Amino acid sequence: MFERFLAGKTAIVTGSNSGIGLGVAHRLAKAGADIVLNSFTDRDEDHALAQKLAEEHGVNVRYIMADMSKGDDCRALIDKAGRCDILVNNAGIQHVAPIPDFPVAKWDAIIAINLTSAFHTTAAALPVMREAGWGRIVNIASAHGLTASTYKSAYVAAKHGLVGFTKVTALETAREPITCNAICPGYVLTPLVEAQIPDTMKEYDMTREQVIQNVMLERQPSKEFATVEQMGDTAVFLCSDAAAQITGTTISVDGGWTAL
């Protein structure tokens, strides 16, 4: 959809060497945008990923290392990119534990990476977007930005915070050609979700398929995972003219989870 209408734009996608971030980067590149991939590692494979994406879609792709748990790194990512027409705040981690046992370091890391990083990148990106006279900010929140689950206190708090931050960003840019929205995915089978399967298998004494169907997709009425391509196409739509008046809202891509 929307053939190469983003040619000449630069999109920065945080946490994009895997999963949803990489899927979003692919779809934005397919729509013609130059891409900045990011994660906290600096491996040959990260740079090779950038080269592969560039060759596949005929756009410029750079990989810039920046640790989204560190405010200075978040801001430096935008500076180093030089341009930022589209900002996708996607980096995120998860940890599951009851509140009394929740490790403080994990709480701090989840709030920093899943929420505070978006504040820093947005603060650095807005002046750049204003200078260019156009901008799109897409925050990858979650169904957990709208609903809660046990044992995910930090994640649910961060994602609800990100939805709130999305609304404030939209209000502060409402009179400008800049929009800010949040995509709220249900379960998408990415490394973040894969990592939760073995512990859940042990906890409930279930097979992998039982965990997927009875635990993960229990709240997803479609009984199917959403895909990274669907997240990417939703982000592309939010960058289109059709979405120019869509700002400060959430778009659920969750197989009906939040309709329950």
> Which residues are the active-site residues?
155
Query: Least distance in Å: CB of 11 to ligand NAD?
Result: 15
Number of residues located near ligand NAD, criterion CB under 6 A: 28
Task: Report residue 115: phi and psi, to 5°.
Answer: -125, -60
Q: What span, in angstroms and rounded, lies between the C-alpha atoms of 211 and 204?
A: 8
Is the C-alpha dihedral spanning 109, 110, 114, 115 positive or negative? Answer: negative
Choice between 174 and 195, CB closer to ligand NAD: 195
| Choice from 6, 9, 19, 84 touching ligand NAD (CB under 6 A) | 19
| Choice from 59, 61, 64, 68 touching ligand NAD (CB under 6 A) | 68
Secondary structure of 138-199 as H, E, C letters: EEECCHHHCCCCCCCHHHHHHHHHHHHHHHHHHHHCCCCCEEEEEEEECCECCHHHHCCHHH
Is the distance from CB of 45 to CB of 96 less than 8 angstroms? no
Q: Is 105 in the site for ligand NAD (CB under 6 A)?
A: no
Q: What span, in angstroms and rounded, lies between the C-alpha atoms of 47 and 25?
A: 14
| Choice from 6, 27, 30, 92 touching ligand NAD (CB under 6 A) | 92
Query: Cβ atoms within 10 A of the Cβ of 131, count?
Result: 10
Please, which of residues 113-132 interact with ligand NAD by CB under 6 A?
A: 113-114
Near ligand NAD by CB under 6 A, which window of 66-74, 130-138, 200-208, 241-249?
66-74
Return the DSSP state at 188: B
Residue 180 makes CB contacts below 8 A (sequence gap 6+) with: 122, 136, 137, 138, 139, 166, 169, 170, 173, 247, 248
Q: Which amino acid is at 131?
A: E
Please, which of residues 158-187 interact with ligand NAD by CB under 6 A?
A: 185, 187
Q: Is 215 in the site for ligand NAD (CB under 6 A)?
A: no
| Choice from 10, 13, 17, 181 touching ligand NAD (CB under 6 A) | 17
Query: Least distance in Å: CB of 110 to ligand NAD?
Result: 9
Query: Least distance in Å: CB of 215 to ligand NAD?
Result: 13
Is the distance from CB of 68 to CB of 14 less than 8 angstroms? yes
Q: Is 18 in the site for ligand NAD (CB under 6 A)?
A: yes
Q: Is 46 in the site for ligand NAD (CB under 6 A)?
A: no
Q: Is 11 in the site for ligand NAD (CB under 6 A)?
A: no
Q: Is 193 in the site for ligand NAD (CB under 6 A)?
A: yes
Interacting residue ranges for ligand NAD, rule: CB under 6 A = 15-21, 38-40, 67-69, 90-93, 113-114, 140, 142, 185, 187-188, 190-193
